[in-house]
Chain A
Amino acid sequence: MSTLKGKELRIVGFLCNWCSYGGADTAGVARATQPTDLRIIRVPCSGRIDPLFILRALFNGADGVLVSGCHPNDCHYSEGNFYARRRLEVLKQFLPVLGIDDRRFEYTWVSASEGQRWKEVVTTFTERIHALGPAPVLEDAQALFRVADMTLSPLHALGTGIQAPLEELKSAIKSRLPELDCVLGWQQGHDAIHSVPLFMRSPEDVDKLVWGPLNVNNLAVYLPSLKGKKTGIVVKGCDSRSVVELLQENLIKRDDVVIFSMPCEGTLDMARVMQKLGSYKTISQTDSDDKGITVTTDTGKHRFDMSLWAQGKCYGCATPGALLADVRLGTLHPVTPAPTTPPELAMLDAMSLEERRSFWKAQMDRCLRCYACRNACPMCVCRDYCVSDSRDPHWMTQDDSANEKLFFQTIHAMHLAGRCTGCGECQRACPVGIPILALRQHIARAVGTLFDGYQAGIQPKATPPLLGFEVQEKNIHEREWK
């Protein structure tokens, strides 16, 4: 997009056909003086604007993006701009965590008769972008590495679940097995410090079932692909939120799923555990007690207390038990609710915009685009038909720049807005340890603030906030144009 050197910046405007485009026309007919930086893209309705349009523009080097539609209650299609308002507000709140100044994006309402108002909007916005200057380029950022502080205190006692009624669970599964196609659980993996998903189809399979802090996988990821088959699933509290969210979105049927709940006492942060273990050849022994696990390898003895070695998400966990279950076993530790900020999000909160850009540049540089983050996500149900793979429309180039890779993360994060239950599988699955969960957590926090503390995957009957609207939004207010 060419600009007049030194005079213009790249500003993209998405204008709805019925109101704002007409408003711009009115301003033109009235010969109102306006800046010339704005490149207008006419869309049928502000509700047509996928937040990814805006992100794509910003990642392609736009210095500012302006969205304008009909005033609320005036939408040509009755409610398009109500949906748009929620999405655009969430997007605006998302931008800073990426290191993008949220002042570079604005949305507003201008009717076809408001030529004067359009002039004010476009002049004010252009002046604002000129004051901010050209948008910084991610590729130019100096790489910054920072590691989150994992010294955290939990909301409920963390342990190894050694008292959990595993045998009772096994017999409960065996008794339901004849009516089910399979039951999802965990079994020991390639060594004693790894658990892996188990598909139980026979009583012999059920005997392989294990319970404990190594059961890190969220098995809900398999449910959509088993739709139509009667499936049992053993869940931790966090996994159950994914099941509930899938039900909320009608991606699975309640009648097809039998949920077995076990009281979760936390799971181990395998990333840190494997780092501590270092290179080992064999594990000769693992001993569990209430508080933690002791692992003996050929290189030595290592102790992992759950209070110190749990996954970041476990410290802020307020749902150790399933929110929805058909078979509920064991007793839960009491939860003391308190506001918490996940470790990596807290780290990002403390950074400046420039530091965040540098941080993401350093992190995304090593991304290989294996998409383990996407495929491990229980909510990423498009999977084989992901927009990131689409050639037409050409959402992403095949360039392996940090910019494109971070753009993919924004696709994933925006598609999870109001849907992500914070299970953290995206980050756990990342072979190169990019703390991408923080992006989802940031959006989840924004969604909570905007929509009365809404959390995804709690109420099976609740409508996810971005699938609905209120005519009068309580927490979204139009910004002044002066």
Chain B
Amino acid sequence: MSTTRYVEQNALPALLEALRTAFGQEQRILVPVLQPAVKESVVFKPWQLGMAFTLKKATVPPKEAVLPPCETLVQYKRTKNPENPAELTLEVTEETHCQPTIVFGCRPCDARGFSILDRPYLQGPFADPYYQRRRESLTVITQTCNSTGNTCFCHWTGSGPTHPEGSDVLMTAVENGYWLEAVSPRGEKLLAALSLADGAPHADAAQKVRENVNATLEPAPDLSKTQARLAARFTDADFWRDQTARCLSCGGCTYFCPTCYCFNITDEGDGYGENPGRRLRTWDSCMASHFTREASGHNSRPNTQDRMRNRISHKFSTYPETWGTFSCNGCGRCISNCPVCLDIRAIVLAATSD
């Protein structure tokens, strides 16, 4: 039986404050924050006392907790010997700072994103040290969904509105508060250390809430043949032209995806003078033309349809080929954030059909 706790709605700020020193370390707590505009959005921001936050599904997933949009990998400084200008000293400093982070209030699709990122970053022949440092000090407190949205299709991909994968603690909204359930050893340790009411009296209510949302799910289509069918359609240019005709080739789908993990590395500055040069790692998008542009000028994916084919095939065919599971969680952000509402579900279904 896992550790469970109960926290009242109005005690959430106190809980966040207590989490700040969880595991005896200074934690950065990322909470969903509403950004007012004519078109509102919800993004993760570091918690500060007195800050307003929301528990709505975020527009931008909390991927930045392990893979920031921009990070410095190394700094370098070049110094010329004034006596002998041919003599150059290069000083390289690796960036090793990593603040332990707690993601609070993300959704199961967001949390599962972390486990999808883990495979290429940690389980391949080499572990990425920058990712590893962040991942190992990450705690994920996930809010299970009380209802599913119109672009949600998490249960198609093996996830679900109450799925625990990638989470340490699951929180479920019950009357006047939240029922917290530890779903990993890290979560157990966290809940045991917090002075909160025992969750047992609310366990049944919470289970009921979870059952209710799972009962609303339409049966998922059979995607067992998708991987092979997509691979077979690789050369079907007409299929990809028709399916992706309206795509504008922006990075809306990739940058808002909890499982897209491509990056670019650039050096900023030559390292001479006052400011050191920096080697930056930033998010990259396979929907950009220059993603595959080679130094010769040749581009292996010159058209939008080639790029979208790659994106969909990667999620539903090549990643599963390597790791045995889809690299899509069905969060639906690529549909809701797309300027032309390109529907990945429709493309996957069309590719899967005979």
A interface with B by C-beta (< 8 Å)? 2, 145-148, 150, 189-191, 194, 196-199, 217, 221-222, 269, 271-272, 274-275, 279-283, 312, 343-344, 362-363, 366, 368-372, 374-376, 383-385, 389, 391, 397-400, 425, 428-435
* Complex Cα–Cα for A422 and B256 (A): 26
With a CB–CB cut-off of 8 A, which chain A residues contact B248? 221, 372, 375-376, 429
What is the 8 Å Cβ interface bit string for chain B, positions 138-174, against chain A (1 contact, 0 not)?
Answer: 0000000001111100000000000000000000000
With a CB–CB cut-off of 8 A, which chain A residues contact B49? none
Cβ of B80 < 8 Å from any Cβ of A?
A: no
Closest-by-CB residue of A relative to B253 is: A370
A217-B340, A281-B216, A369-B255 known; A398 and B37 CB under 8 Å? Answer: no
With a CB–CB cut-off of 8 A, which chain A residues contact B274? 2
Nearest CB in chain B: distance from A456 CB, A: 21
A145-B36, A399-B280 known; A199 and B59 CB under 8 Å? Answer: no
Cβ of B196 < 8 Å from any Cβ of A?
A: no
Cβ of B79 < 8 Å from any Cβ of A?
A: no
List 17 contacting pairs A-B, 8 Å CB cutoff, sorted by A.
A147-B38, A190-B335, A190-B346, A199-B242, A282-B150, A283-B150, A368-B251, A368-B256, A383-B249, A398-B282, A399-B268, A400-B282, A429-B252, A432-B60, A433-B37, A433-B39, A435-B37
Nearest CB in chain A: distance from B297 CB, A: 11
* Complex Cα–Cα for A375 and B308 (A): 15
Report yes or no: B38 in contact with A429, Cβ–Cβ below 8 A.
no
Contact of B341 (CB < 8 Å), options: A196, A400, A433: A196
Cβ of B246 < 8 Å from any Cβ of A?
A: yes
4 additional A-B residue pairs with CB within 8 Å, beyond A190-B151, A389-B290, A433-B39:
A198-B246, A199-B242, A221-B248, A368-B283
Report yes or no: A399 in contact with B38, Cβ–Cβ below 8 A.
no
Cβ of B288 < 8 Å from any Cβ of A?
A: yes
Report yes or no: B35 in contact with A366, Cβ–Cβ below 8 A.
yes
Report yes or no: B268 in contact with A376, Cβ–Cβ below 8 A.
no
* Complex Cα–Cα for A370 and B253 (A): 8
With a CB–CB cut-off of 8 A, which chain A residues contact B285? 370
With a CB–CB cut-off of 8 A, which chain B residues contact A274? 336
Report yes or no: A190 in contact with B343, Cβ–Cβ below 8 A.
yes
Report yes or no: A428 in contact with B255, Cβ–Cβ below 8 A.
no
Report yes or no: A432 in contact with B59, Cβ–Cβ below 8 A.
yes
With a CB–CB cut-off of 8 A, which chain B residues contact A389? 288, 290
Report yes or no: A434 in contact with B38, Cβ–Cβ below 8 A.
no
Nearest CB in chain B: distance from A223 CB, A: 13
Cβ of B320 < 8 Å from any Cβ of A?
A: no
Report yes or no: A430 in contact with B39, Cβ–Cβ below 8 A.
yes
Closest-by-CB residue of B relative to A347 is: B38
Report yes or no: B339 in contact with A428, Cβ–Cβ below 8 A.
yes
With a CB–CB cut-off of 8 A, which chain B residues contact A376? 248, 250, 339
With a CB–CB cut-off of 8 A, which chain A residues contact B69? 368-369, 400
Contact of B268 (CB < 8 Å), options: A362, A375, A397, A432: A397
Contact of A197 (CB < 8 Å), options: B41, B242, B340, B345: B340
Report yes or no: A148 in contact with B148, Cβ–Cβ below 8 A.
no
A370-B251, A391-B266 known; A281 and B150 CB under 8 Å? Answer: yes
Report yes or no: A199 in contact with B38, Cβ–Cβ below 8 A.
no
Report yes or no: B36 in contact with A147, Cβ–Cβ below 8 A.
yes
Cβ of B70 < 8 Å from any Cβ of A?
A: yes
Closest-by-CB residue of A relative to B33 is: A366
Cβ of B264 < 8 Å from any Cβ of A?
A: yes
Contact of B149 (CB < 8 Å), options: A146, A217, A281: A281
Report yes or no: B70 in contact with A400, Cβ–Cβ below 8 A.
yes
Report yes or no: A433 in contact with B250, Cβ–Cβ below 8 A.
no
Contact of A189 (CB < 8 Å), options: B35, B282, B343: B343
Nearest CB in chain B: distance from A144 CB, A: 11
Closest-by-CB residue of A relative to B249 is: A375
Report yes or no: A375 in contact with B40, Cβ–Cβ below 8 A.
no
Closest-by-CB residue of A relative to B256 is: A431
Best-buried of A146, A191, A369, A370 by chain B (most CB within 10 Å): A370
Nearest CB in chain B: distance from A333 CB, A: 25
